[in-house]
Amino acid sequence: RSRGLGDVYKRQVIEGIGDKQIHMKELVKKLKNKLACGGTISGNNIELQGNHKTKVMSALVEAGFSPETIEIK
């Protein structure tokens, strides 16, 4: 899900990963490198700086997630 931060900045929020058997720090690092952006872990969510709606699915599939389990909003 994309959320606006003011008028200029966007961030991509990836939800629903915290309940899986995933090492969140490693996943955030991979996503930040793949998408060339900043990001952080916030609770059970991953927040990436920028609008990566079109790229995040392929990055998650590359990280090992099944395409059928990914929903882009």
pLDDT digits (tens, 9 = 90+) for 18-72: 666 778 899 999 999 999 999 999 888 899 999 888 899 999 999 888 888 888 8
Question: Global pTM?
Answer: 0.78
Beta strands, E only, the chain: 2-5, 9-14, 39-42, 45-49
Report how far residue 57's alpha carbon sits from residue 62's, in angstroms, rounded to the nearest whole number: 9
